Amino acid sequence: MPTLNWIGKDKIISHHQSIPYRVLEHNYGFTVKKGEQTEPTRSGNKIIHGDNLEALKSLLPEYERKVKCIYIDPPYNTGNENWIYNDNVNHPKIKKWLGEVVGKSGEDFTRHDKWLCMMYPRLQLLKKLLAKDGAIFISIDDNEQANLKLICDEIFGQKSFVGTIGWESKTKSQNTKTAYNKLQPKMEYILCYGKQKNKRFNLIKIGEKEYPENDEKGEYRTHKIEEMSSEGVRGRCTMIFSILGVNPGEGKQWQLGVETINMYNKRNDLFLYNNKPHIKVRPSDERPSITNPFWGFFSKEIGTGESAKRELNKIFFPNKHGFETVKPKNLIERLIYHESLKNSIILDSFAGSGTTAHAVLNLNKKDGGNRKFILVELEDYANSITSE
């Protein structure tokens, strides 16, 4: 399997093992008003203020292999140092950590070397926390997407790669002097890895199939056995056969195979109507629910970075939160829905403004779930923005 090498990799490849376990100190709980009194509550949710490397290690004794869904939105390493969430891993704590762990070779780092050194041990600890039937979703853009894919293949395994989801993060064009005639990427990506082979997800139910007809065996719906082209990669000679004396047209094949047709025929659920073969489809033959598939692309209806910022502005006085880039709650909520059960633990170790917690609470409100979230945030706004 191809692997990625960079300055400092040899120093951090096993670094997660040497991180000390630290005790998480409970500082305060949120309060709810009950009559005239204000009482502290323990919801089971956690917001941890501190270095996520230390926090993830400290979560292992209680949560190893118990987290069903992980979503992280790490620094994209764009080189922009003006954001409240410093996005080129030059945070003083990260630089200090690199100096201590990697040593003088770190002086020759490119920003990509630094980013990889920062991410690698954190991903190793996230893997340990992930449940055997869980999945991790990682947001990224073009700056580090290729590097992230290679180190995730190395840590989680190539066979654990589920797929890449595309997300249209921008709809507005930039008309500045330096940008208007350049390529303006609109897409961001969400890499998904799961520990299970052939990972399956929850689907959104949009209706129920109807079975309007009845006979002595119960309700059913009729379905004409369709033809399709027998040319090209989907052409199969085994799909060309006679059904009740009817053959598919020239250059055509049936969409159902002979074994399936024989099963319906044996049940007396195969018949001709207008000289076309039909079957009686019963509820036990299929999933009666109509669902939307879990696509590898989210259109702007799920929300954009622009709509997410407007949403955050409604919670905080416009632009007083300091975040220029925010993920829409609906995006994170959709990922959590597809992957979680109603009592699952959801983890976000790059919490930022707290969108993941917002999504968990909103999803619980919609379906009566009792999902719990664990958030980790390094910056001081963990108290003033994330928890709020």
pLDDT at 307 over 70: no
pLDDT single digits (tens) 374-383: 999 988 888 8
Higher pLDDT, 233 or 217: 217
> Within 13 Å, how many C-alpha atoms sit on residue 379's CB side?
20
Using the predicted structure, report yes or no on whether residue 345 has a pLDDT greater than 80.
yes
User: What is the mean pLDDT of the segment spanning 335-357?
Assistant: 94
Q: What is the pLDDT of residue 182?
A: 78
Which has the minimum average pLDDT: 54-63, 114-123, 224-233, 334-343?
224-233
Q: Using CB atoms within 10 Å of the CB of residue 150, give its burial: 0 to 12 exposed, 13 to 18 middle, 19+ buried.
A: middle
At residue 140, the 3 state secondary structure works out as: strand
pLDDT at 45: 92
Residue 36 pLDDT: 47
pTM for the model stands at: 0.81
Report pLDDT digits (tens) over 69-84: 999 999 888 876 554 5
What is the pLDDT, as a whole number, of residue 170? 72
Do 373 and 347 touch, CB atoms closer than 8 A? Answer: yes
pLDDT of 169 over the 80 cut: no
Q: What is the mean pLDDT of residues 303-314?
A: 67
pLDDT at 32: 55
- If DSSP codes are grouped into helix, strand and coil, which group holds residue 376? strand
| pLDDT for res 300 | 63
Read off the pLDDT band of 284 (50, 70, 90).
very high
Is 152 a residue whose pLDDT tops 80? yes
Token representation of residue 343: 């009592």
Mean pLDDT of 4-31: 86
Amino acid 363: pLDDT: 95
Residue linked to tokens 């989210």: 298
- The CA distance from 38 to 186, in Å, is 46
Task: Indicate the range of 102-106, 134-138, 223-227 predicted with least confidence.
Answer: 102-106
Mean local confidence (pLDDT), 55-81: 91
Q: What is the pLDDT of residues 29-42, one digit of tens each?
A: 766 555 544 445 56
Query: 170-174 — which CB contacts under 8 Å span 24+ positions?
Result: 170/304, 170/305, 170/306, 171/300, 171/304, 171/306, 172/306
- The three-point CA angle 265-252-213 to 5° equals 40
Average pLDDT over residues 44-48: 91
